[in-house]
Structure 1
Amino acid sequence: MNSSSMRFLALPAIFSIALLTACGGGGGGENDSGSGPGPIRQADSRDCFNSGLYKPGTSIEFERLDKPDQTIGFSAIWEVTPYAATAKTPAMSKVTTAFNSATLYLVDQDALLEYGILFNDSIGFSTPPFRRPIQMEAGESLHQVVTTNYYINDGSGNLESSQNIVHDNTYVGREVIETPMGSFETCKFEIKQHFTYSDPNSKPTTITKTRWFAAKSQYQGFLLQSRFVVQPDGEAVTQDEFSRVSKINKYDVK
């Protein structure tokens, strides 16, 4: 697998971790049973979306735990700034993390659209953009086939590489989870993506992302925990990461 493909596989994992935002300022969520993860129930996903997370001016500083026995969290940020329209995209919000990368979002009337990702040395644009409907019923899935083209970020506009992604986003349902800041009711999503690459030397790969977003609290819509699994076709899993928010140091959502 070449370096551009490896970078593409690594950054979604980093971004999933950085996306883990606040789940409570020392208090519990809607359900503070303290009895561990709760069963999934039938309720739609509207309560787990917050458009303020994607408005310029939003700024969050938080900490996360990446291992079950970890006690000191890693610092992370979520900063939103405007991104001007280009020939390839409309005007959007640019969400920057602590990992020298950023993702481009647009909140549509009924969905969150992810148009691409920015690195220090390249820019990736997805056609069509990845779509997350604001309201999904438990068990509902959205299927897309997306092409992401990466361009060298030197002003030349030269194409560096491309990937085709078969994308299935399923809203599993509601689930109460335990975090270092209490128990919270969440919306659980599972995203499966199968990648094929323009480089014939890069092996097709499946990435599975499981995400738990906070429901019905002042932190509505934040990703409280996330799992990220990478498995090249015909091989064993090569990457399996799990992260959870542990502390919020700054929380300013517009």
Structure 2
Amino acid sequence: MRSTRHPLPTRLIVSLLGVFLAACGGESTHDSAAPIFQAAPMAPAPAITFSGSRNNYLITRTATGFEVRDLSGKTANVAVAIDASLKFSDMTVNLAIGEQSKVLSANNLRTLIELYIAFFNRVPDADGLGYWIQQMKAGMTVDQLANNFYAAAVQYPTLTGYSATMSNAEFVKIIYKNVLGRTGNTAPPDADINFWAGELNSGKASKGSLVTTMLNAAHGFAGDATWGWVPQLLDNKIAVGSYFAIEQGLGYADPNDSISKGIAIAAMVTASNTSNAKTLINIKDNNFSLLATTPTGSGKGDSRDCYNSDLYKQGVVYKMEMASTLRATGTTESFTTTYTPNGTVNFKDNTVQEIVMDSLQLTGLSAGVTSQLKSYVAVNNNEYITYGSILTVKLNTTTNYVVTTVMTPPQKSPFSLPLNQAYVQTYSNTQEIAGKTISMPSTTESLTFLGTESVSVPAGTFTACKMQLTNNSNGANTTSYTWYIADSNLRGLPAKTEAEGVTTVATKLSITR
């Protein structure tokens, strides 16, 4: 990796390609039939270059910026500023665009993204979008923006569908076809075409401003039984454009890809589907979002306050009754779990402690299902080390399956963690099921202590250590937050967990010594 600084432009570049890549336009806020030719806007900060593709890295927020982690483990983690620009072999990431987008009203930001797609037939890139955000912040109106976009779009008729020689009626037809998706059986009648062409003929509208007007009119059909799909298509295009440029902060390292791949992504959007377009974008760092509200902790406290050595002693039994709620539907299921340390045993030639976790599903679709998880661990003054486990799941009295998992190397959970600094480890595991051994993809795990804070659950109100756990396995990321009790005689037990779409809270807790 190396840090490179983008060269500042010393002159205006008379290149129509540069105009198109930047969504064309320039420094003037005056309406003009000819764009101001300018190279693509510079990224907001010096670029930090990485040798691999975007999907080879995990980007996570830190207390002061972001951290870029090589999933192969071949290079060290790189701390970057909150407004850094990253360049991978295939893509660029503008980390500043999420905050930068907030300087515009939500309505103006939507309009900007929609016009970008309408005129250039592709999703916006983060750097180009950031440039136009600044222009609008400086006073450029929506109509002036649209006229600048139109002036550039006509230079590439084969890509955009617009040309300088088309008639007003032909121009309107292109809007209906390429922007509103109305062609074939849904093509507009001549009366509608003539109405909008008349706005141009009379001078009431410019071609740039007419696109804005027609888009606004189309949004008025939301919920309409016949034409409601049109505004839905527009909304979906905005959603995908926002996901690509703002939420992910993306652009392509090769300017030609910005055109060809940007067009391909926009073409995949339909009135009923955005997933195909996101699949084509193909970002596997699922938890990364520049628009996400980052859960934070108090930034104070000691993680060791949540360690309870009694939980690993033979003769101690602790029991938890928990309720898990699927946030999307509000559906809640409850279960009870009892932990029993069984003393020292041998597991795969390792002398370890066996901790037995017996669970019973109390309510929900799986009510009555029991499972037993035997974890094989070593505990010292500094950390908790997991060598593997044996999981047995039963339905009533019938054994469904038994799975033995072996960790390589053993998974470590330190008791003492610095505030807001991730403890990162990579491990793999094999699973033995019905006599067969399956090698699972390696997992890179990041554990962060966010501080102590008060948490209230049905079991009570506690001071708790808030922990963030991020896992990356086979290119997919998951993040969860768990609050471990730091006070009272229940120290060390989990009070609450927030995972992917699910919140689990303790309803009853006990430790018997």
TM-score, normalized by length of structure 2?
0.35
Three-state SS of the structure 1 residue aligned to 2:488 is: coil
Q: Give the Å deviation of 1:39.
A: 6.4
Q: Give the Å deviation of 1:86.
A: 3.5
1:106 corresponds to which residue? 378
The letter of the residue matching 2:429 is T
2:503 corresponds to which residue? 242
The letter of the residue matching 1:212 is W
Give yes or no for the alignment of 1:65 onto 2:323: yes
TM-score, normalized by length of structure 1?
0.68
Of residues 74, 92, 95, the one that matches 2:335 is 74
Which structure features the higher share of helix residues? 2
Q: Give the Å deviation of 1:190.
A: 0.6
Q: Which moved more, 1:38-47 or 1:213-222?
A: 38-47
Alignment check: 8 A CA contact 2:297 2:450 kept = no
2:451 corresponds to which residue? 173
Give yes or no for the alignment of 1:205 onto 2:463: no
Give CA-to-partner distance per residue, 1:138-167, whole Å, 9 cap, x none: 11211111011112365xxx5223230011
Three-state SS of the structure 1 residue aligned to 2:350 is: coil
1:122 corresponds to which residue? 403
1:93 corresponds to which residue? 354
Three-state SS of the structure 2 residue aligned to 1:42 is: coil
1:219 corresponds to which residue? 490
1:151 corresponds to which residue? 432
Quote the Cα distance in structure 2 between the aligned partners of 1:75 and 1:91: 26
Q: Give the Å deviation of 1:80.
A: 2.0
Quote the Cα distance in structure 1 between the aligned partners of 2:499 and 2:389: 18
Distance change >3 Å, CA 102–CA 153, structure 1 → 2:
farther
- 1:12-31 aligned at under 5 Å gives the runs none
Structure number with greater Rg is 2
Alignment check: 8 A CA contact 2:301 2:451 kept = yes
Which structure features the higher share of strand residues? 1
1:33 corresponds to which residue? none
Quote the Cα distance in structure 1 between the aligned partners of 2:378 and 2:453: 27
Quote the Cα distance in structure 2 between the aligned partners of 1:227 and 1:93: 27
Q: Give the Å deviation of 1:95.
A: 3.1
Alignment check: 8 A CA contact 1:43 1:137 kept = no
2:68 corresponds to which residue? none
The letter of the residue matching 1:80 is P
Alignment check: 8 A CA contact 2:490 2:511 kept = no
Unaligned segments of structure 2, at least 5 residues: 1-295, 360-370, 393-401
Of residues 296, 307, 311, the one that matches 1:53 is 311
Unaligned segments of structure 1, at least 5 residues: 1-37, 197-203, 230-239
The letter of the residue matching 1:152 is I
The letter of the residue matching 1:48 is C
Quote the Cα distance in structure 2 between the aligned partners of 1:86 and 1:104: 7
Quote the Cα distance in structure 1 between the aligned partners of 2:343 and 2:434: 19
Distance change >3 Å, CA 166–CA 72, structure 1 → 2:
closer
The letter of the residue matching 1:188 is K
Quote the Cα distance in structure 2 between the aligned partners of 1:216 and 1:50: 10
Aligned residues: 195
Distance change >3 Å, CA 102–CA 163, structure 1 → 2:
farther
Quote the Cα distance in structure 1 between the aligned partners of 2:464 and 2:433: 38
Three-state SS of the structure 1 residue aligned to 2:311 is: helix
Quote the Cα distance in structure 1 between the aligned partners of 2:467 and 2:442: 22
Q: Give the Å deviation of 1:88.
A: 4.2
Quote the Cα distance in structure 2 between the aligned partners of 1:83 and 1:247: 29
